[in-house]
Structure 1
């Protein structure tokens, strides 16, 4: 199998860590089993390890503890029904779900935002749960934004953005990242900027999709990365973190996330945001900024389920 790329793995961890997950495996007869996970966390990049927690009372306990491996499927924002299905006592959870075997053998669900196929590394009893630590053998991510869960409700990029779309003077930008580079375009004044546009009644999500289409890239709006008031221009600004930008852009260029390469960014608020993004990319740990171009706070993205 192809060796794991630590940088790509770190980016995948950072992008999807707040998503709703379904953990899958095969039982002793080769039949698929799965459940909506209580916890999913990266443990190590070298070797690449992740963990999930499973209740001792789960009907899948014996199967998972004795399985040679498992897969973690990060659900996309359109897969609420799958999350509910795997969280409830359904007789055959896979009856209406398309899936295939991953490189390690565990079930990979179709249409997910990302998946990690793991060999079992270790199991640890922990109170009323067991911790399953898996060694990542293969993984992949797509352009589909992930499904979030917080305070008893599902959260999607579209819902979060549209809730803010009624503000006047709303500007949407897209932070499109690929391999440690971010897409910047000509701002028309001799500097560089993120692709952006004003929202005119269509909603922030629709505006973000138009922006991505204008670049010619294969990407989709992910989670809102920053919300701030631009006091100089008296407008509210929302920036989407966009995932999987395949292909070459029709306009602009991908620029490394280094101070020297970001010097041409003309908007101070955007430059501050990109500096923060560069630091968070190194750590694989992202937050959402609320404030204005001079002050505010970064609220960490936390797994809600």
Structure 2
């Protein structure tokens, strides 16, 4: 296994909002075990440590306490059924789930947003739970947006956006990021702008996919990063935070995520949002903006 790059690991942690995970391991017979959890937390970057919690009442408690390690699988938005499978009692939760052994040995589920394969660093008794602290030995992430769970219901980018605004004129923009850079395009007036489109048919979910397709990049829409209204023109703006894979865009170019790199962005509201994004990227603490083009509030995701 290659050494962990702390910066790459920090970027992977910062990419995903707190969401639904499946913790997997091997029992003493080397059979795969796992359960759905949402208590995944980054502990340290040097050494790279993460933690999850398992209830003392869990049937996997003894196996996890004695395991050599575990993997944390962050589920994608289309993996609701996998979340349900690992949350319900089952004789073989892996029977209909595609997986493979990770570099450190724990089961890694296919098609998720990310995974972190860990060796066991420490276990800590904590009331009616046991804390598993793992040292990350290998990890990977994809462009697939994550699956969230709020107030007893699953939350995905498509469901959250369609509920945001109805019967309003909408403009959907893509905040496409890759390797600490963001994609900007010519706005037609000598300045720069985010890729965007007026929403006509199909709603915001179809619109963001069309915006991404026009860039020529492989990317998928993540969660809504900003929602604001241009009160003068009576237009609602929805901005998706998207992760892109390798490849050159058809239009525009990636620029570093820094306040100074956005000087040529002509729209004041977009400029303010990008400056906030640069600050949040540095602090690794992201929020969702609600308001209008002049003022509003930021509600942090963690």
Residue 151 of structure 1 is matched in structure 2 by 151
Query: Deviations 1:94-146 (Å, cap 9, x if unpaired)?
Result: 11111000000100001111100011111111110111111111111111111
Q: Structure 1 residue 8 and structure 2 residue 4: aligned?
A: no
The offset of 1:25, in angstroms, is 0.3
Q: CA RMSD in A?
A: 1.2
Distance 2:132 2:283 in 1: 23
Residue 206 of structure 1 is matched in structure 2 by 206
Distance 2:76 2:260 in 1: 36
Distance 2:245 2:211 in 1: 13
Q: Which moved more, 1:18-27 or 1:226-235?
A: 226-235
The offset of 1:245, in angstroms, is 3.1
SS in 2 for 1:260: helix
Contact 1:173-1:237 at 8 Å conserved across structures:
yes
The offset of 1:19, in angstroms, is 1.6
Distance 1:72 1:244 in 2: 22
Contact 1:23-1:72 at 8 Å conserved across structures:
yes
Residue 277 of structure 2 is matched in structure 1 by 277
TM score, norm. by length of structure 2: 0.97
Residue 82 of structure 1 is matched in structure 2 by 82
Contact 2:17-2:146 at 8 Å conserved across structures:
no
Distance 1:194 1:245 in 2: 18
Structure 1 residues not aligned, in runs of 5+: none
TM score, norm. by length of structure 1: 0.96
Residue 48 of structure 2 is matched in structure 1 by 48
Instruction: Work out which structure has the larger RCO, using CA pairs closer than 8 Å and 6 or more positions apart in sequence.
Output: 1
Structure 2 residues not aligned, in runs of 5+: none
Query: Deviations 1:250-294 (Å, cap 9, x if unpaired)?
Result: 100001112221100111111111111111112222111111122
Query: Deviations 1:9-51 (Å, cap 9, x if unpaired)?
Result: 1121122241200000001111000001140111111111111
The offset of 1:167, in angstroms, is 3.5
Distance 1:244 1:6 in 2: 20
Contact 1:38-1:54 at 8 Å conserved across structures:
no
